[in-house]
Structure 1
């Protein structure tokens, strides 16, 4: 694997070291490490980034590679301050992961001003490659559109014609609700209403009662992390599923399924860009990650490995860590690893790759630890993500 990552043409050592600013390539992983999304990405993403660096050989163009990390606490102002310190003082070359859409949008704007590359795996909003796109911004693992196409589309086709949304009240939740509602309506479905809740809510009772009273076929949970887990747990207390309604976890990953347990999560339909047990290509990384962390990776953590590896390939191919040169290579180079199989980067920075529709197994169906998913369908990348023209990104012009 290391040989494959570092397979670009060799560069003479003296020339290479001179082509790397400050003599070091520094990668920052900025995400939630203590809050509602700590399992979603968190320290697991940091370890994935370190694995990619180690597999690359620890150096690029003869210069050492360093990974730094910080907890942004899901606060855009905190994230922006850290990013500014990293860029201006600590000479960080690129910031990655960026769980939480409001944070990712803020850091992407700062990165554009500072002429620095940012690569997002943890945040969902399609605005990152839409109206707020950047020539230096890249969106890797998934977005709200792909989740709407996957989970939303599957449930409408299965008979879920009426929807009521329980939505996290910030950029990510709004975008996920909007994208899913559009897709539901395009398939002949109807949205009966929505209710917004603050991030990291502990009591969902009033919101769930409104969803229950709507009599909608589907209660769409346009939230993530512990918010989704807590909503599912409390929905069981109100007998929402027993009453004939179905829960749609629009952003739910392996980490949250593990935390919730199969007894509570079984039957949920969800969309991810990676599953450790999908096939022989997905398992080797997962097994190494498991030995290192004690957990199997989800799409955010696997996607973080992919972004770090691709960034280093781009630096190697460019022969420099100059931002414009590396961004050009990131747009040009194909993405073909265990995560982004046959992937390509569009002009707006969206990395297009296949997405996968899964159903969570019943406890009786699981044959081993972390054996949680049944693969229902593969959604080809060109269907899973918007085109540049659809996205509204002005870089297309």
Structure 2
């Protein structure tokens, strides 16, 4: 019998608010004994400088699976997560291959490192298994390194830069201003710096200097001294993971007053910086203060279970599983090729924002709203979580969702033949 999504939604409002928000499951009375579980692989860093974000990712995908299963699963089948760590690209590739070949997962979700996502993308293209990238930002993954079986719920670097760039232009921090940037020395950072420089040049900014920062660096004092000497109009951070937390702490300790802005960000890193240390303007793909009913349900459920609110990496992994489950329900299959086709035809998904999103067929990037957040003065901070104000959604309600995405001229994707 075809799955009645509207009926499922009405029933699930009483049983599972998070699952109901995306309308992806069947009636709760279905017995799992009828069918084998659908295995979904989840792979993401659990240690190292990206480890704190990976912890949010794992907690969120577990919550999503539990909500889906509480509502009856997908096509009467339970979702079974198979979790693994990906501390580096080599292990990410090997573990993705093992999840596919040994564990027989129907899809892979996760990742934060762009280098590791690239490695996984090559595996899934060879194995013809769906992969939803939930945290890797590099434009190259949507361009020169794009793969037909890889999709991106995480925003690309161009979207991050253009989203926060509007705020920087508004505040007079681009045209005629001197930027000094610090950039994470790996694939993500190199790509982000390229995109940031393009935006700066297009909008009349000047690049006063840049330093590449090793991912294991803990002491920023040599670079803070260089910034003090350079006296830039804006300090731009193209950093990642705990690099951002460490920099913010040390920047506050040095007492530097140059405005700070970032082109890549996760709210957990601001929370980790401690009271009084977070400052500047930053782009986020989502945050826990987004004022929509489904965000409030997600935040409440996550906070109740994990004793802290979710941040934007949690959002990506939570929504990715809901998106895959919805697609399986709508296509009535777990076959990757058919789900890929469904995504490419413009299927719409509730992403806990004011507008539904969709994967752009040309590069498999999710088209969606983003936000620019600005740190509150310490005197206005009331708790350890609500430490910023947010812009309205970007793009605005009268703009195309593609307004902040890389154009075909900026980032060309050509999917390789199967």
Q: TM-score, normalised by structure 2?
A: 0.85
1:384 counterpart = 2:404: yes
Say which of 52, 58, 77 aligns to 1:63. Answer: 77
SS in 1 for 2:333: coil
| Residues 31 and 99 in structure 1, CA contact (< 8 A), matched pair in contact too | yes
Change (3 A) 1:320 1:220: same
Match of 1:334 in 2: 348
1:359 counterpart = 2:374: yes
Match of 2:58 in 1: 46
> Could you tell which deviates more after superposition, 277-286 or 131-140?
277-286
- 1:96 and 1:8 map into 2 onto residues whose CA distance is 19
> Could you tell which deviates more after superposition, 199-208 or 114-123?
199-208
Which deviations, in whole Å up to 9, do the C-alpha atoms of 1:213-269 show, x marking residues without a partner?
Answer: 33321121111221011112222343332xxx222232232211111124010x421
- 1:329 and 1:345 map into 2 onto residues whose CA distance is 10
> Could you tell which deviates more after superposition, 129-138 or 323-332?
323-332
1:19-34 matches, within 5 Å, as 23-34=36-47
| Residues 98 and 121 in structure 1, CA contact (< 8 A), matched pair in contact too | yes
1:252-291 matches, within 5 Å, as 252-265=265-278, 267-281=279-293, 282-291=295-304
> Could you tell which deviates more after superposition, 56-65 or 271-280?
56-65
Say which of 237, 247, 259 aligns to 1:221. Answer: 237
1:1-397 matches, within 5 Å, as 1=17, 2-7=19-24, 23-40=36-53, 42-56=54-68, 57=71, 59-73=73-87, 75-160=88-173, 161-241=177-257, 245-265=258-278, 267-281=279-293, 282-331=295-344, 332-339=346-353, 341-347=355-361, 348-380=363-395, 381-388=401-408, 390-395=410-415
Which deviations, in whole Å up to 9, do the C-alpha atoms of 1:357-386 show, x marking residues without a partner?
Answer: 111112321234522221234211322222
Match of 2:398 in 1: none
Unaligned residue ranges in structure 2 (runs of 5+): 1-16, 396-400
| Residues 163 and 220 in structure 1, CA contact (< 8 A), matched pair in contact too | yes
- 1:7 and 1:76 map into 2 onto residues whose CA distance is 32
| Residues 197 and 207 in structure 1, CA contact (< 8 A), matched pair in contact too | no
Which deviations, in whole Å up to 9, do the C-alpha atoms of 1:12-40 show, x marking residues without a partner?
Answer: x99xx78xxxx332112211212212222
- 1:156 is displaced (CA, Å) by 4.1
Number of aligned positions between the proteins: 384
| Residues 125 and 172 in structure 1, CA contact (< 8 A), matched pair in contact too | yes
Change (3 A) 1:366 1:240: closer
- 1:326 and 1:225 map into 2 onto residues whose CA distance is 32
| Residues 9 and 317 in structure 1, CA contact (< 8 A), matched pair in contact too | no
| Residues 153 and 184 in structure 1, CA contact (< 8 A), matched pair in contact too | no
Which deviations, in whole Å up to 9, do the C-alpha atoms of 1:169-223 show, x marking residues without a partner?
Answer: 1110011111111111111101122111111211222233333333321121111
- 1:310 and 1:138 map into 2 onto residues whose CA distance is 11
> Could you tell which deviates more after superposition, 214-223 or 1-10?
1-10
